[in-house]
Structure 1
Amino acid sequence: MPQSHPFARVSILCKTYDPESGFNESHAEVIELHDDQPEAVDAVLKYIYTFEYDNIVRTGKDKTRPQFHLRVYRVAHKYQIPKLQHKACTGLDRACRKITLQTSGSKNGSSSEELFELIKLITEHKQYDHSFNTTSIYLVQRYLSPLMRLKTFNE
């Protein structure tokens, strides 16, 4: 089965906004996406125009964080852009493998609580992509000792 081109998806979405379509959005001057994070929508739009994900990620410090990739994945899934979903999964995995925990004197790492919150976020998305299971298992195995010290993790 041939994979659909992202512009084909955009064409389908544009029909929604056609004045003859009957959708409320077709008459609105501004369409608000309340459920989507602005930086994720921005990344999706840039991807649609450039087909480059790595360049998008390199342009901001928060874009290297795993949470960014999860947000992009969520929007790409919502708007059915499978290639971008895959790139966001790959970015998430790469970002998770670079995580370090804070040691007493280091301010460059994450705390155990932040790591646990990230693991919870990843497992919320595992129904969409099986690679999220692998990523969350990797994080738990790598940081089991500090995680075990958290009451919330043990619960």
Structure 2
Amino acid sequence: MEPISLAILAAVASGAGGEFGKYLLEQLTSLVRRPTREQPAGTVELERLQLRPIDRERAQQLRTVLEERANQDSEFRCALEAWANTAAQHADTLFGDVQNELSGGTVNGYLLQGKNFSNLSFGYTPPSPRPKPEPEKTD
């Protein structure tokens, strides 16, 4: 089995990738929580990584536990490999191709760095709709 990417584990645990990232996290969580004879191996490690996804050591601990479990359970290994392949094939969704850099100078105003922004407002409130004129009364 190919080693699972630490970057992908961290990205999924952090919530990166929008809806697809959430899907991957749900799938990994479901996989890790599959019943075993003992406590499902990887549950604690996944929860710890979600608390601090930038911690490389926590990602490594999760990968180690998942690989050990995969070596003992061929059905788990197949499911984990399928999950890892799906995640790797769509890594651009998790990471994107955006590189943000800001160096030197002073920013006075708004600065956005990221990818796929939508529905943003910078203190602008759209005008309220005008009230409909009341019909003239005829007595």
TM-score (normalised: structure 1) = 0.22
TM-score (normalised: structure 2) = 0.24
Q: Which has the larger Rg?
A: 2
Q: Which has the higher contact order (CA 8 A, sep 6+)?
A: 2
